[in-house]
Structure 1
Amino acid sequence: MLGFREVSNHAGFNADQIADKFNLNLDLAERDNQFVLMEDFVKMLEYAARLKNIPDLGLQMSPYHDLSILGPLSLVISNLPTVGQAVVYAAEHIDVMSPTILIETYPDKTENTVSKSHTWISISIDLDKPAPHTQALDVCLGNLHRFLKILAGNHYQLAKVMVPHGSRSIAPVYEQFFEAPVFFEQDHAALLLANSTFEGRLDKPNTELSQIVDLHIQTHFRNIRGSFTARTAQVIRKVLGRASCNKSEVAKLLAIHPRTLQRHLLDENTNFDEIKTRILCQEALRYLTQSQIPMAQLASILGFSEQATLVRFCKRNFGKSPTEIRKNAESLDM
C-alpha cells in the first residue's frame, strides 16, 4: 500500500477515507511483516482509480516501493551472483510474500521460431474471486521492471512490454515509465528482456548471507506453490481456449493420471471443474472490463464454441450478460 497516500494527496483526495471503505489501515504499510488481503487491496485501488480518474494509479505508486517490500526474499535476491539466479529465486518463492502472485519466464517466439537473444518474464495475480485488478497488476509489473533495472544496472535491456488491459489513451505515460514500447490488450503482463540482462552479475553479492536467509525461509515459511490446486490452475491458464484445456490433457501436462489428479484435488477440497470455472470467470471479467475485444473473439479466446455459450456462462456466474458487464464497467469510468 506504500505510495497510495502520496498519490492520493497529489490528486487531492483523502486516501484514508477510501481505505476505510475496504477495511484497510494504511498505517500498516509502514510496518514490517504486516499482511492484508489482496482482494481488499485490489478493490481499493480500482475504486480510487475510477472515482478520481487516475488510470495510471498503480504505476504512480510503484516508485514508492523498493526491494525491502519483499521482506526476507530481498536479502536472498540481492545477494545472489547473477540477475538470472535472482529471477529464478523470486519466481520460486514469491508466494512467501503473497500466494496470489505468480512470476514466470519463457522464451521469446518470433514467427514460430524461438529467439535465443530475448526472454519474457511475466507477472500475474490469481484471485480466489474474479475481480478487475488493473491497478494492482500495474504496481506489480512496475515493481518488476524497476527492481530488475536496479539489480541489473547497465546490463538492463528492456525491448518491449505487454499489458492485458486497454489504456491506449495514456500510452505515452506507460512508455515513459518503462522507457520501451508498450503493447496493450495482450494475454498477460510481461517484460521482454535481452538475455544479457539475466547474465549480469550483481554488485558485491554475499552468498553466505543469501544461504543463511534462504535456510530461514525454507524452515519458517510454507511454500504452497507445490499444491495441486495451484499447479492445475497454472496449467489451465496456459492452455485456456485450446482443445487441450480439459482434465485429461491437463493431467498429462502435469505428468500424472487424471484419477490421481482428481484425488489430489479432492484432498485439497476442490476439483478440476471448480478451478477451471474460477479461472474462466477471472479471464472473462478481465477482458470484459479492461478491453474492447469483440464478443465473438472473446468467446474463442476463452474456449467457448460460440458467443451464445459465453452469454450463458456469464449469466450463470455473474447474473448478467457479457454486454451488461461491459456497459456497467464503462459507466463507472469518470
Structure 2
Amino acid sequence: MSVIRSAGLRGFRATVAELGGDAEEMATACGLPVAALDTDDLLVPDQAVAAVLELAAHRLDCPDLGLRMARRQDLDMLGPLALAIRNATSLAAVLECTSRYLFVHARSLSLTMEPDPYGDRGVIALRYGANAPGLPTPVQGTDLGLAFVHRTIQRLVEDRYGLRSVELPYRPAAPIRTYEEFFGAPVRIERPAALLRAPAALGDRTLAGGDENLHRLAMAFLAEQSGDAAAAVAPRVRTTLQKLLGTAAPEIEVVARLLTIHPRTLQRRLTAEGTTFAAILDEVRRDEARRYLTTTDMPMSQVASLLGLAEQSVFTRCCQRWWGATPTTVRKSKTV
C-alpha cells in the first residue's frame, strides 16, 4: 500500500463545507481517519485520498473540486521539500529537487521534466502523475496536483511563466473553459499523460530570497529520509540540530518542518522517548561547545554565535552550568 502525507488533504474540509457537504462523513466512508482533515503529518493510503476527492466531487456535483482545493493549498504542505524549494536560487533547482524528492510527501507521486511531446525544442513538459500501473487516473487528484504545481511556479517567479498548454489524460466533467480560466492557457484532453508545457528557458529563471546554505541543508535531510515513521525520533532531532547550529535558528518548528513532523507531534514523541527538545538542544550545544573550545582558537563571541546563542554572556553562563567553569578555563584545561 502506498501512502501520502495527510497534508495533501489541505483545503478539503473548507471546500466541502463551502459546498454544503460533510467532510468527516466522506472521509470515514473512504476509510480515512477524521484527524487527517486537520493535520499534515499522518500517513494515509493515497488511494483513499483519491477516493474521497472523487466521492466529494460526485456527491456535491462539483467536477472542479481539485482546482478549488488547489486555491487553498500552499508550499508549506510539502514539509522539508518546501524548505528546499523556498531557498532554491533558480527554478531549475526547484524542479530538480522536486522531481527527486516528491516521494517524501507521497511515495507514488512523481514530477519529471521531459522533452515536448510535440517536438518543440523551445518547450519542456512537466509530467505529473501517480506511479500506479493498471489503475485509472484519478481525475480530481490529478487536477489538484497539476493545479498545485502551476500555482507554485507562479508564486516563485511572481509572474506568469509562459505556460503553453495543459495536457489532461482524461475527459473532465467540468467545462474546458473552467480549466483554461484557471491555468490561463489552452487545455487539451484525452492525451497520453498529465503535463504542463512550459518554455524550455523556464529553468533559467532566478529566484529572489533563496539561501543556498539552507537549500543544501534541506537537500541533505531529504537525501537522508528513511521513510520509517516508527523509528526513534530523538537521534534524528540531534542530527538535525547539529547541522542547524550556526546556519538557522535551532527552533522546534524548524526541526519539525525538516523532519516532516508537526511540532506538537514531535514534542509528544520525544516525551514518549524520555526526553525533550530543550534537553537535546542543550546536549548538542554542550557537545559542540566542548569541541570548539578544546580543538579551535575561535573567539568566544564566534563560538557563541555558532551555538545559536544571542550573546557571549549567555555562553559563559551555559559553561558554568555544564562544567562549573568559564569558557576560558575550559579552553586552557582541555579536560571536560
Confirm or deny that 1:5 pairs with 2:13: yes
Aligned residue identity for 1:99: R
Displacement of 1:131: 4.4
Alpha-carbon separation, structure 1, partners of 2:174 and 2:12: 23
Paired with 1:132 and 1:118, the residues of 2 have a C-alpha distance of: 25
Distance 1:170 1:87 in 2: 30
Matched position secondary structure for 1:185: coil
SS at 2:44 equivalent = coil
Alignment check: 8 A CA contact 2:10 2:38 kept: yes
* Matched residue type, 2:93: Q
Q: TM-score, normalization: structure 1?
A: 0.62
Determine if contact 2:139/2:172 at 8 Å carries over to the other structure: no
Structure 2 letter corresponding to 1:5: R
Separation (CA, whole Å) in 2 of partners of 1:209 and 1:130: 38
Deviations 1:224-248 (A, max 9, x none): xxxxxxxxxxxxxxxxxxxxxxxxx
- Cα distance in structure 1, aligned partners of 2:100 and 2:221: 15
> Does the 8 A contact of 1:152 with 1:197 survive in 2?
no
From 154, 158, 161, the counterpart of 1:153: 158
What value does the CA root-mean-square deviation take over the aligned residues?
2.0
Shift of 1:34: 2.0
Alignment deviations for residues 147-194 of structure 1 (CA, whole Å, 9 cap, x no partner)? 111112236111111111102751111011101111111111111111
Counting only pairs closer than 5 Å after superposition, residues 125-144 of structure 1 correspond to structure 2 as 125-127=130-132, 130-144=135-149
* Aligned 1:283-298 pairs, distance under 5 A: none
The partner residue of 1:23 within 25, 31, 41 is 31
CA distance in 2, matches of 1:58, 1:96: 21
Please say if residues 152 and 198 of structure 1, whose CA atoms lie closer than 8 Å, have aligned partners that are also in contact: no
Greater helix share, structure number:
1
Q: Which amino acid aligns with 2:51?
A: K
Aligned partner of residue 123 in structure 2, secondary structure: strand
Give 1:222 deviation, angstroms. 5.4
Letter in 1 for 2:125: W
Query: Corresponding residue for 1:307?
Result: none
Shift in Å at residue 58 of structure 1?
0.8
1:194 alignment partner in structure 2: 199
User: With CA pairs under 8 Å and 6+ residues apart, which has the higher RCO, 1 or 2?
Assistant: 1
Q: 1:286-326 CA deviation, whole Å, 9 max, x = no partner?
A: xxxxxxxxxxxxxxxxxxxxxxxxxxxxxxxxxxxxxxxxx
Asked if 1:119 corresponds to 2:124, the answer is: yes
The equivalent position to 1:61 in structure 2, one of 63, 66, 69, is: 69
Q: State yes or no: 1:95 paired with 2:117.
A: no
Matches within 5 A, 1:296-311: none
- In the alignment, structure 1 segments of 5+ residues that lack a partner are 224-334
Which runs of 5 or more residues in structure 2 are unaligned?
Answer: 1-8, 229-336
* Amino acid paired to 1:199: D
The reply on whether 1:35 has 2:43 as its aligned counterpart is yes
CA drift of 1:108 comes to 1.7
Cα distance in 2 for partners of 1:56, 1:24 equals 22
SS at match of 1:98: coil
Deviation at residue 135 of structure 1 after TM alignment: 0.6
Q: Closer, same or farther in 2 for the Cα pair 1:87/1:55, shift >3 Å?
A: same
CA drift of 1:27 comes to: 3.3
3-state secondary structure, aligned to 1:166: coil
2:215 partner amino acid? S
Alignment of 1:250-289 (within 5 A): none
Q: TM-score, normalised by structure 2?
A: 0.62
Matched letter for residue 152 of structure 1: V
Q: Partner residue of 1:215?
A: 220
Question: Structure 1's 169 and 2: CA in aligned 2 closer, same or farther, altered over 3 A?
Answer: closer
Change (3 A) 1:123 1:27: same
| Shift in CA distance, 184/97, structure 1 to aligned 2, threshold 3 Å | same
Question: Is 1:180–2:188 an aligned residue pair?
Answer: no
Give distance in 2, aligned partners of 1:132 and 1:100: 13
Q: Which entry has the higher C-alpha Rg, 1 or 2?
A: 2
Residue 116 of structure 1 deviates from its aligned partner by 2.8
Report the Cα distance in structure 2 between the residues aligned to 1:145 and 1:106, rounded to whole angstroms: 16
